């Protein structure tokens, strides 16, 4: 199977969107969800999620609280804040702008 590195700078976007979709997730769920949603195309070094999550905590985009998993394990669940939702919107529109521009450049044969 062919796996691709995610484009630089999009990790935050992916995490934010993933959490936004299901409201509340722990680290493994986020990593797993990104992979599955992308049909196993996007390859994230799973551990790199954690420094990124710290950064997002500092920025106040997400909050974290401890809970229990379905398998009755202690896990830290992340949740978007209002600031986080705004950031997500901003990241999405920025990403679209960039992708749109790149696409236009490619299509101009």
Residues that bind other proteins (CB under 8 A): 26-28, 31-32, 45-48, 50-51, 53-55, 57-60, 66, 69, 73-76, 83
Cα 107 to chain centroid distance, Å, stands at 28
Cα separation, 35 vs 15, whole angstroms: 11
Query: 15: buried, middle or exposed (CB in 10 Å: 19+, 13-18, 0-12)?
Result: buried
User: By C-beta, is 20 or 57 nearer to other proteins?
Assistant: 57
User: By C-beta, is 72 or 107 nearer to other proteins?
Assistant: 72
Q: 92 near 13, Cβ under 8 Å?
A: yes
User: By C-beta, is 14 or 27 nearer to other proteins?
Assistant: 27
User: By C-beta, is 83 or 99 nearer to other proteins?
Assistant: 83
Smallest distance, Å, CB 81 to other proteins? 10
Cα separation, 64 vs 21, whole angstroms: 16
Smallest distance, Å, CB 95 to other proteins? 22
């Amino acid at each position: 199977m062919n796996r691709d590195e995610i484009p630089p700078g999009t990790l935050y976007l992916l995490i934010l969107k993933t959490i936004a979709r299901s409201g509340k997730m722990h680290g493994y769920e986020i990593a797993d969800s990104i992979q599955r949603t992308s049909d196993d195309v996007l390859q994230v070094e799973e551990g790199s999620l954690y420094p990124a999550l710290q950064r997002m905590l500092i920025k106040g985009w997400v909050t974290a609280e401890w809970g229990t998993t379905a398998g009755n394990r202690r896990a830290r669940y992340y949740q978007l804040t209002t600031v986080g939702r705004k950031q997500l919107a901003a990241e999405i529109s920025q990403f679209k702008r960039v992708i749109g521009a790149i696409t236009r450049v490619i299509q101009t044969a």
